[in-house]
Structure 1
Amino acid sequence: MSDCCPGSKTMDFSDSAQGEDETGARQSQLKQWPIQLHLVSPQAPYFQERDILLAADCVPFTLADFHKDHLKGKSLAIACPKLDSDQEIYVDKIASLIDDSKINTLTVMIMQVPCCGGLSQIAKSGAEKATRKIPVKQVVVSVEGGQILSEEWL
């Protein structure tokens, strides 16, 4: 991770207002930056003892109420098991989130396409590598219509 890119700087805005603004528009539930799994630091304050959502890159675009129904109250990391390189690093980061950040739960949201299953496998491998044991949930989202097809504990 390069320190010269301001987009990689760890930012925690969990104290920002939530709910709706004065116009009635819903506000974002994103409370940290960065979110890409290659760029996040497991030592960031917004991961400490939190519930984590690991979402495939396409998931938020498929679910109309992603922020309200799935992101609210969680810290976020995103990844693409088909396009991201150096995914071995992801297994170590997940293990570090579990052991060092002492996260409470890990929810992995993937699309119903076969390549997305790789993200669940990465999460499972990271959880198996970790010393601490936490609940890991997989949520599968349909490509058409953005419905939740299944939710299961891994």
Structure 2
Amino acid sequence: MVVRKIVKIDEIRCNGCGSCIPKCAEGALQIINGKARIVSDVYCDGLGACLGHCPQGAITIIEREAEDFNEEAVKHQKKKTEPKIEQQVIFQWPVKLNLVPIKAPFYEKANLLIAADCAAVACGSFRDSLMAGKRPIIGCPKFDDARAYAQKLAEILRQNNITAITIAHMEVPCCSGLKWAVDKALEASGKEIPVRRYEISVSGEINEL
């Protein structure tokens, strides 16, 4: 252990937008539980290439006791993690609510992620924080018919074994139609399915409601 320069992330300021991740060539940063974090001190060279890319000003360089930067460990980590990025796949296609089938094998015991279609664009960590392990269905209640959404979702819930629902919508008022559609669909389906709801701010912050 030596005293050296290393990145520090202010977890209060960090909103998990993920802007810093691609700027760290060493792969020292990852989004974990909705916040950017240093995976290991040995991956951070302390040069601060990520500094100017945090819109929240959550990243600083400090001096503290830490393990030495290890270039060989960085190379090993990259080899280990790169295939995982390639293997991140969508479990079904299509994903638009207007296009998905009412009954399909991919719904079996699924945690259904019903999201506003602009949410993934607004939130850099959307895939890691909200989509992992879920079956995504996206839509826009502002430009589509929320009543039609509710009717189709009701049939999907009625005809398939859905075990959980996650709603992810923007903080803007028009997105409230997504929750309304899910509520109406659950009521019409006659099923009791646990629901978690997340609101995404226009700056990319994820908040559970």
Q: With the length of structure 1 as denominator, give the TM-score of the two structures.
A: 0.77
Q: Which amino acid aligns with 1:83?
A: F
2:173 alignment counterpart: 114
Equivalence for 2:98: 38
Matched, 1:125 2:197: no
Q: Show structure 2 runs of 5+ residues with no match.
A: 1-77
CA deviation digits over 1:91-122, x for unaligned, max 9? Answer: 12211222211201111100000000111111
> What is the distance in 2 between the residues matched to 1:94 and 1:21?
41
Give the ranges of 4+ consecutive aligned residues of structure 1 lying more than 2 Å apart after TM superposition: 20-23, 86-89
1:76 paired residue number: 136
For residue 21 of structure 1, report the CA deviation from its aligned partner. 8.2
* Whole-angstrom distance in 2 between the partners of 1:22 and 1:34: 30
- What percentage of aligned pairs have identical amino acids? 34
Whether the 8 Å contact between 2:146 and 2:178 is mirrored in structure 1 is no
Rg comparison, structure with higher value: 2
Query: 1:50-95: CA deviations, max 9, x gaps?
Result: 10000101101112122222111111110001112x4322112211
Amino acid at match of 2:94: P
Q: Which of 89, 106, 112 is equivalent to 2:148?
A: 89
Q: Residue 167 of structure 2 contacts residue 197 of structure 2 at CA under 8 Å; is this kept in 1?
A: yes
2:205 corresponds to: 147
* Rounded Cα–Cα distance in structure 2 between residues aligned with 1:112 and 1:23: 33
Q: Distance in 2 between matches of 1:147 and 1:58?
A: 14
Number of aligned residue pairs: 130
Identify, as 1 or 2, the structure richer in helix: 2
Q: Match of 1:125, as an amino acid?
A: K
Root-mean-square deviation (Å): 1.9
| Aligned pair partner of 2:127 in 63, 67, 71 | 67
Cα separation, partners in 2 of 1:137 and 1:23, compared to 1, 3 Å: closer
Distance 1:56 1:21 in 2: 34
In 1: Cα distance, 2:189 partner to 2:82 partner: 43
